[in-house]
A and B are shown apart, each in its own frame.
Chain A
Amino acid sequence: MTASPAQPIALNDEDLTYLLTVLRNSTQPMTTQQLIDALRGQTR
């Protein structure tokens, strides 16, 4: 799925579950940039 510039990207349930897992495994607050990096890592 490739995002087009006209339509903003929306995260699906799989992404949400992944982000929640990442947050759950962290003992410190995470920044938005860290979550973005985690999402990119998931795709790779």
Chain B
Amino acid sequence: MVLQQEKQTVRFAGSPKDRELAARVFDLVLIHARFMSDTAPVRISLASIAEFLDQRSTPASIDELRAALAASPKVFALEQIDDETVLLTSRAGQVPSLVAAPSRHTFAQRFMTPLPKPERPAQPVRERPRVYPAWATLPSILEGGDEEEDFDFGPELDGDEPAAASAELIEIVPEPVVTETSEPEAAVIIEAEPAIPPARTITLPVAAPTDVTGVDDLELATAIQQRLGADARVANFGEHWMMEDRVPRLSRGDLRRLKDYLQEREQPLTDDDLSQVVLGVRPGTAEFELTRFATNFRLSREHREFEFVGTTNQRFWTTSGLPAIGTTRRKPNELGTDYRFLLEELAAEPAYRSLPAIDHTLTFYEYVHGLLPYDARLQALLPAPLVPNQRSAVLTFECPQSFTTYLVELRYPTPNRGGYILGLDDFYTDHLVPGALISISRTENDGHYRVEFIAESDENARLLELDERRTPRYVFRPTSFRCGVDPKTLLTEEKFGRFNGEKPVDEKIRRRPESVVAVTFERVGDSSEGNLSAEFATLLAGVNVERPISATLLRTVLENDDSGAFSRDPEKEDAYTYVPGNTP
């Protein structure tokens, strides 16, 4: 439907000259405000009107204009703005109303003063439909008894009294009708005028931000970890944080390809590798950091398929089915049990990565299995677990003397098993012998370490080895080595010759450090007045052929022996004696 708006005629007052001038001014207003709505206020200064009229050869002075416009107060109004007289009117020919219409019901007001929630009358509790008791048990159905008792068919009607019974029904029926009609009416009247409770005003306490000027970064990091870590909206991995809904998700296909790639490479891989090769994001691009974080965060949620085995700077991931790092001579659990004594030697509050480097003398047990014990010193050199319940961390050990980097695995201690590093078999076999001195130093990367030995000129000696061809036996074989060693712990035939042809002790004896010490006395001790005497350093090297024992543990065993089997040798410096046959 098309409507044509009729234009209303504007009437001007005053003398004919004033009306004629007012009409010209109004035409000017219509031209000036041709794109404005009819009721929008139009402002034009009198000076510009006079100038316009002068250009049109119909000049009028300011005073003439003022008089002509003042004669039509319904059409024109004059305002004084910054010492300038301004005409105010509208296209409709009426002075516009400048007072804003009162807004009784604004959107903002509705939020600030919400109306109370309308209270609904309490709904009557619906009766729960139940199975008729007669149907509850199978025998009652099969026997078909008690039907007359259970089913209520109303009063029985005798054939003699049909008229009386129907009369009773007729009388009973109207009664409830009367009562039911009267009650709802009363209820309707009550509900018709509900009392409107006053609007609820919710006052929020004004919480000021915590002043953190005097708090150090470590404490603040802990506070952030506690507060944001407990918030499900925030994604966290290591030192990185992001809103969970902004972290890209990995599809089932992505997860499958990540697992396939790990299994194809047969070793743990870093998040850098996985992001580049599998997810196809180039390092240096804007989304690389985001993809790497998404890889770490999303994989950390896939406990069944992936396991984090990295550090802060080298975030390694592994999956099931990868070949184990390190020795296969003993199972990881057995190694952990062997190192159980280290649990008592670890610091209660470890200062991870507080030591820049440590020196270590390699034992026979460590050499054979390619291990390092995770003792208090190694704990102070290596990083803490990055994620909760992290069982192991894959580290890289670089030997600058051979330009070789080894992938090793640090097994963190558990409540009943000690920790250790494994995977150094090749390094030991290629460059070292038992008794060699090595140094391990940290780098800026908390997952990368430098391992060095003392380079020496060629030396030959017959050294202890474990011959595992048939029945395992200890033998001495000529060996050439070019590394610095501790002469007291070097297992030469001259010093440890009684090991030759010996079998490794039973597992039952191995479990008890005292028994292993007694056996070692018999293998390395010097006979003196019916007793066996051995220096502590020699004893330590000999004991560690069978099982790992630290100097602390060995000292404890020798000093705290209640059976009297072990005692200090008063004739030698730092030596002990053992009474043969007196096994503690």
Closest to A44 in B: B213
Report Cα–Cα, A33/B239, bound state, in Å. 8
Report Cα–Cα, A30/B290, bound state, in Å. 10
Closest to B213 in A: A43
Q: A2-B214, A3-B215, A42-B209 are in contact. Are A36 and B242 (CB under 8 A)?
A: no
Instruction: Establish whether residues A30 and B242, one from each chain, have CB atoms under 8 Å apart when the complex forms.
Output: yes
> Which B residues touch A14, using CB under 8 A?
207-210
Question: A29 contacts which of B207, B223, B233, B289 (Cβ < 8 Å)?
Answer: B289
> Which A residues touch B505, using CB under 8 A?
none
Instruction: Establish whether residues A29 and B242, one from each chain, have CB atoms under 8 Å apart when the complex forms.
Output: yes
In the complex, what's the smallest C-beta–C-beta distance from A41 to chain B, in angstroms? 10
Report Cα–Cα, A29/B215, bound state, in Å. 24
- What is the 8 Å Cβ interface bit string for chain A, positions 19-43, against chain B (1 contact, 0 not)? 1100110111111110110011011
Instruction: Establish whether residues A1 and B211, one from each chain, have CB atoms under 8 Å apart when the complex forms.
Output: yes
- What is the 8 Å Cβ interface bit string for chain B, positions 183-219, against chain A (1 contact, 0 not)? 0000000000000000000000001111111110101
Q: A8-B222, A9-B220, A39-B220 are in contact. Are A30 and B234 (CB under 8 A)?
A: no
Q: Does B57 contact A (CB under 8 A)?
A: no
Closest to A34 in B: B241
In the complex, what's the smallest C-beta–C-beta distance from B458 to chain A, in angstroms? 51
Q: A28-B289, A29-B290 are in contact. Are A10 and B223 (CB under 8 A)?
A: yes
Instruction: Establish whether residues B212 and A31, one from each chain, have CB atoms under 8 Å apart when the complex forms.
Output: no
Closest to A10 in B: B223
Q: Does B576 contact A (CB under 8 A)?
A: no
Instruction: Establish whether residues A39 and B221, one from each chain, have CB atoms under 8 Å apart when the complex forms.
Output: no
In the complex, what's the smallest C-beta–C-beta distance from B12 to chain A, in angstroms? 61
Report Cα–Cα, A23/B240, bound state, in Å. 11
Instruction: Establish whether residues B241 and A9, one from each chain, have CB atoms under 8 Å apart when the complex forms.
Output: no
Closest to B289 in A: A28
In the complex, what's the smallest C-beta–C-beta distance from A8 to chain B, in angstroms? 6
> Which B residues touch A33, using CB under 8 A?
217, 221, 239
Q: Which of B37-45, B62-70, B103-111, B224-232 contacts A (4 or more CB under 8 A)?
A: B224-232
Q: Does B243 contact A (CB under 8 A)?
A: yes
Main secondary structure of the interface of A (DSSP, over half): helix
Question: B210 contacts which of A11, A32, A36 (Cβ < 8 Å)?
Answer: A11
Instruction: Establish whether residues B241 and A29, one from each chain, have CB atoms under 8 Å apart when the complex forms.
Output: yes
In the complex, what's the smallest C-beta–C-beta distance from B547 to chain A, in angstroms? 43
Instruction: Establish whether residues B211 and A30, one from each chain, have CB atoms under 8 Å apart when the complex forms.
Output: no
Report Cα–Cα, A18/B211, bound state, in Å. 13
Report Cα–Cα, A42/B221, bound state, in Å. 16
> Which B residues touch A35, using CB under 8 A?
224, 228, 241
Q: How many residues does chain A have at the interface if contact means C-beta atoms less than 8 Å apart? A: 31
Q: Does B420 contact A (CB under 8 A)?
A: no
Instruction: Establish whether residues A39 and B212, one from each chain, have CB atoms under 8 Å apart when the complex forms.
Output: yes
> Which A residues touch B234, using CB under 8 A?
20, 23
Instruction: Establish whether residues A12 and B289, one from each chain, have CB atoms under 8 Å apart when the complex forms.
Output: no
Instruction: Establish whether residues A30 and B233, one from each chain, have CB atoms under 8 Å apart when the complex forms.
Output: no
In the complex, what's the smallest C-beta–C-beta distance from A18 to chain B, in angstroms? 6
In the complex, what's the smallest C-beta–C-beta distance from B148 to chain A, in angstroms? 70
Report Cα–Cα, A43/B211, bound state, in Å. 6
Report Cα–Cα, A14/B207, bound state, in Å. 6
Which of A19, A23, A24 has the most chain B CB atoms closer than 10 A to its own CB?
A23
Q: A26-B242, A42-B209 are in contact. Are A32 and B223 (CB under 8 A)?
A: no
Instruction: Establish whether residues A8 and B219, one from each chain, have CB atoms under 8 Å apart when the complex forms.
Output: yes
Question: A40 contacts which of B213, B227, B243 (Cβ < 8 Å)?
Answer: B213
In the complex, what's the smallest C-beta–C-beta distance from B53 to chain A, in angstroms? 58
Q: A29-B289, A39-B220 are in contact. Are A3 and B227 (CB under 8 A)?
A: no
Which of B211, B215, B217, B246 has the most chain A CB atoms closer than 10 A to its own CB?
B215
> Which B residues touch A24, using CB under 8 A?
243, 246
Q: Does B339 contact A (CB under 8 A)?
A: no
Closest to B242 in A: A29
Question: B225 contacts which of A16, A23, A27, A32 (Cβ < 8 Å)?
Answer: A32
Instruction: Establish whether residues A32 and B242, one from each chain, have CB atoms under 8 Å apart when the complex forms.
Output: no
In the complex, what's the smallest C-beta–C-beta distance from B213 to chain A, in angstroms? 6
Q: A10-B223, A13-B207, A42-B209 are in contact. Are A3 and B214 (CB under 8 A)?
A: yes
Report Cα–Cα, A24/B247, bound state, in Å. 11
Report Cα–Cα, A18/B227, bound state, in Å. 12
In the complex, what's the smallest C-beta–C-beta distance from B159 to chain A, in angstroms? 83
Question: B239 contacts which of A3, A19, A23, A32 (Cβ < 8 Å)?
Answer: A32
Report Cα–Cα, A23/B215, bound state, in Å. 22
Report Cα–Cα, A30/B233, bound state, in Å. 15
> Which A residues touch B449, using CB under 8 A?
none
Q: A14-B207, A42-B209, A43-B212 are in contact. Are A31 and B240 (CB under 8 A)?
A: yes
Closest to B205 in A: A13
Instruction: Establish whether residues B221 and A32, one from each chain, have CB atoms under 8 Å apart when the complex forms.
Output: yes
A contact residues vs B (CB 8 Å cutoff)? 1-3, 8-16, 18-20, 23-24, 26-33, 35-36, 39-40, 42-43
6 A-B pairs with the lowest CB-CB distances in the bound complex, closest first: A29-B293, A29-B240, A14-B207, A29-B242, A11-B227, A36-B220
B contact residues vs A (CB 8 Å cutoff)? 207-215, 217, 219-228, 231, 233-234, 239-243, 246, 289-290, 293
Beyond A10-B223, A15-B210, 11 additional contacts (C-beta under 8 Å) are: A3-B215, A9-B215, A11-B224, A13-B207, A14-B208, A15-B227, A20-B231, A27-B246, A33-B239, A39-B220, A40-B213
Would you give 29 A-B contacts (Cβ < 8 Å), ordered by A? A2-B211, A2-B214, A3-B215, A8-B222, A8-B223, A9-B212, A9-B215, A9-B220, A10-B226, A11-B210, A12-B207, A12-B209, A16-B227, A16-B231, A20-B243, A23-B242, A23-B243, A26-B242, A28-B289, A29-B240, A29-B241, A29-B289, A32-B221, A35-B241, A36-B220, A39-B210, A39-B212, A40-B213, A43-B209
